[in-house]
Chain A
Amino acid sequence: MEIKDILKPSLMILDLKANNKASVVEELIKPLVVEGIVKEEKVFLKVVMDREEQSTTGIGMGIAIPHGKSSMVTTPSIVFGKSKTGIEYEALDGKPSHIFFLIAVPEDSKEEHLKVLSQLSRKLMNSEIRAKLLNATTAEDVINSFD
């Protein structure tokens, strides 16, 4: 299983409308609810925001990876989101965030899924991949960024 297998066009928002932390997380959760991956929207939102309370997932360099582990999630999934204007996400470097990966994981995940997520996290530390993601305009571009 590779990163590509977990990135789905139906779970991508290439033009985020939200303009603050709370609303961007809400917007990113929406496709998961539509696809039936998240059962209780409110509960999962709280899980993600609680994680943010502990320490922000805005890792700087324009990237944020809100995430949550909850029994309300049926399959491990990633929602990709991109904001043209950038969103203030309490990032470590204080700059606005443009690229979002919302990671949703069920309480009892299979190891192979978790491995893919750890790979994704590692790849995001690579500046080339980040540059490709920032320039991506289509779902395909996003998926190809990880080649």
Chain B
Amino acid sequence: MKLVAVTSCPTGIAHTYMAAEALESVARKKGINIKVETQGSIGVENQLTEGDIEDAHVVIIAAGTNISKERFSEKTVLEIPITEAIKDPEGIIEKAINLEPKIKKLNKEAEEINKKEISVSTGPYKHLMTGVSFMLPLVVAGGLIIALSFIFGIDAFQQEGTLAAALMQIGGGAAFTLMVPVLAGYIAYSIAERPGLAPGLIGGMLATVIGAGFLGGIIAGFVAGYTVSYLNKVIKLPKAMEGLKPVLILPLLSTLTVGLLMTYVIGLPLKSIMDGLTSWLQRLSGTNAMLFGGILGSMMAFDMGGPINKAAYTFAIGLGSSNIFQPQAVVMAAGMTPPLGLALATVLFKKKFTKDEIETGKAAWIMGMSFITEGVIPFAVADPLRVVPSIVMGSAVTGALSMMFDVTLRAPHGGVFILPIPNAVGNLGGYLISIIIGTIITALLVGFFKKKAV
């Protein structure tokens, strides 16, 4: 049995280490293998590796401060006040041993590869993704609630005082208005931490008000974040006044910078780009629309959850914030067909896959239906030159068809499980046809290219 723990306390001078020692010595006595990471004044020591966490039965977090739990999302976590670890280490170890470990969900391999990709992403890409991940719940909640208001008729919300009007107010009035500010706010937060949030939110709000949309929001977020971290570096205050920096000086100066830049310099050009993009997309029809859908769709499949996939996805939900919902339909459908196509291929062409792959194919059905593009990664890793072109073609066809049928999707998340929500999808029949055809094309191409499994 192996346990891992993290200890951390407010000043990081004493408790962090005492708790670590207490847990280690009890574990030693009981013959249990434990590794304790200390997050104290010296910084992180004895850092837990991915392997440590993977092998651990349970994770113990003994902290008097906030520590990030993202690393442990796959684990059962026992969270306790740090003083408990000092007072009663025996009881805690006992409790940890008796907890049920979490069983790893879905397809292990795919998730690991996916995780690696996230951990290597740094710099602007990481900041953008942080913003997008905080914005996404607003998109989903807002989009679906607006869809619900359409149950009462497409114009029902115009009648004041009705439930339809209330739903529109919640989804459109509140959730959608917050989207771009939250995107900008959390881009800045990712760059400059807490002091970045205020100027980022404000810059994003200005982008919304001006009409600069998600492009304005992204730029506002980056300007805010980098401005704050620059100011934080250059402004030196006497010790006595240092407390003023995070609450007064940084927010004031950075908000002024971002606000004035948005209002007088970059806001209007961005608005015209955004307006141009919007009207171009609205006028898109026929071949051009299909070409657009094909490109966006192939981007979703090309790196299966990597930067190009996320760029296409971000672009689509950004346009959702400007009330253009076709691209959202394209990206979700095109993100579903790669795992679905491979799953179908494992059924149609059993001889071309190993036993393990056929098993993985079963999980790929579920991942595909849930819009987890990463479900295709185990297949792509095993045979990239044959699998990647096939899924790119399949997704391109799906994207093109989705545009041709003029499908709209109000919340690009949840896969097939959001399809039954009334009005979430415009032209549901067309959408299903697009996804099914893309899946079949992917499967046939894979079957055609792939050699017999040995």
Residues of A within 8 A of B (CB): 51, 54-57, 59-60, 65, 67-69, 71, 92-93, 103, 105, 109, 111, 114-115, 117-119, 121-126
Structural contact, A105 and B13, CB atoms closer than 8 A: yes
Structural contact, B14 and A121, CB atoms closer than 8 A: yes
Inter-chain CA distance A71–B64, complex, in Å, is 23
Inter-chain CA distance A114–B16, complex, in Å, is 12
Residues in A with CB closer than 8 Å to B81 are 55
- Asked, given contacts A55-B64, A60-B86, whether A67 binds B42 with beta carbons under 8 Å apart, the answer is no
Structural contact, A55 and B83, CB atoms closer than 8 A: yes
Structural contact, A57 and B15, CB atoms closer than 8 A: yes
Q: Using a CB-CB cutoff of 8 Å, which residues 78-97 of chain B contact chain A?
A: 81-83, 86-87
* Cβ-neighbour of A121 out of B10, B13, B83, B239 (below 8 A): B13
Among residues of A, the one whose C-beta sits closest to the C-beta of B18 is A121
Structural contact, A124 and B10, CB atoms closer than 8 A: no
Inter-chain CA distance A122–B24, complex, in Å, is 10
Among residues of B, the one whose C-beta sits closest to the C-beta of A69 is B11
Min CB–CB distance A124 → chain B (angstroms): 6
Residues in B with CB closer than 8 Å to A126 are 21, 25
Structural contact, B14 and A117, CB atoms closer than 8 A: yes
Among residues of B, the one whose C-beta sits closest to the C-beta of A76 is B13
Structural contact, B21 and A54, CB atoms closer than 8 A: no
**Residue B324 at the A interface, CB < 8 A?**
no
Structural contact, A118 and B87, CB atoms closer than 8 A: no
Structural contact, A125 and B10, CB atoms closer than 8 A: no
- Asked, given contacts A92-B83, A109-B41, A115-B42, whether A51 binds B11 with beta carbons under 8 Å apart, the answer is yes
Structural contact, A118 and B86, CB atoms closer than 8 A: no
Structural contact, B42 and A114, CB atoms closer than 8 A: yes
Subset of 9 A-B contacts with CB under 8 Å: A55-B64, A67-B11, A67-B14, A114-B13, A118-B13, A118-B16, A118-B38, A118-B40, A125-B86
Residues of B within 8 A of A (CB): 10-11, 13-18, 20-22, 25, 38, 40-42, 64, 81-83, 86-87, 239
Inter-chain CA distance A118–B45, complex, in Å, is 11
Structural contact, B41 and A125, CB atoms closer than 8 A: no
Among residues of B, the one whose C-beta sits closest to the C-beta of A104 is B13
Structural contact, B11 and A118, CB atoms closer than 8 A: no
Residues in A with CB closer than 8 Å to B25 are 125-126
Main secondary structure of the interface of A (DSSP, over half): mixed
Inter-chain CA distance A71–B41, complex, in Å, is 15
Residues in B with CB closer than 8 Å to A68 are 11
Residues in B with CB closer than 8 Å to A111 are 42
* Cβ-neighbour of B13 out of A54, A69, A92, A122 (below 8 A): A69
Structural contact, B14 and A103, CB atoms closer than 8 A: yes
The 7 A-B pairs at the shortest CB distance, nearest first, are namely A121-B17, A122-B21, A125-B21, A118-B17, A121-B14, A92-B87, A114-B42
Structural contact, A125 and B14, CB atoms closer than 8 A: no
Structural contact, B41 and A69, CB atoms closer than 8 A: yes
Residues in B with CB closer than 8 Å to A59 are 15, 18, 83, 86-87
Inter-chain CA distance A117–B22, complex, in Å, is 16
Min CB–CB distance B90 → chain A (angstroms): 13
Known: A54-B10, A114-B42. 6 other contacts (CB 8 A): A68-B11, A92-B86, A103-B14, A121-B15, A122-B17, A122-B20
Residues in A with CB closer than 8 Å to B14 are 57, 65, 67, 103, 117, 121
- Asked, given contacts A54-B10, A103-B14, whether A93 binds B87 with beta carbons under 8 Å apart, the answer is yes
Among residues of B, the one whose C-beta sits closest to the C-beta of A118 is B17
Inter-chain CA distance A94–B59, complex, in Å, is 29
Min CB–CB distance B261 → chain A (angstroms): 34
Structural contact, A117 and B13, CB atoms closer than 8 A: yes
Residues in A with CB closer than 8 Å to B41 are 69, 105, 109, 114, 117-118
Inter-chain CA distance A67–B25, complex, in Å, is 24
Among residues of B, the one whose C-beta sits closest to the C-beta of A48 is B11
Inter-chain CA distance A32–B194, complex, in Å, is 35
Inter-chain CA distance A85–B83, complex, in Å, is 25
Inter-chain CA distance A68–B14, complex, in Å, is 10
Residues in A with CB closer than 8 Å to B17 are 118-119, 121-122
Inter-chain CA distance A60–B84, complex, in Å, is 11
Structural contact, A125 and B42, CB atoms closer than 8 A: no
Residues in A with CB closer than 8 Å to B38 are 118
Inter-chain CA distance A121–B12, complex, in Å, is 11
Min CB–CB distance B16 → chain A (angstroms): 7
Residues in A with CB closer than 8 Å to B13 are 67, 69, 103, 105, 114, 117-118, 121
Inter-chain CA distance A93–B83, complex, in Å, is 11
* Cβ-neighbour of B42 out of A92, A103, A118 (below 8 A): A118
Min CB–CB distance A95 → chain B (angstroms): 12
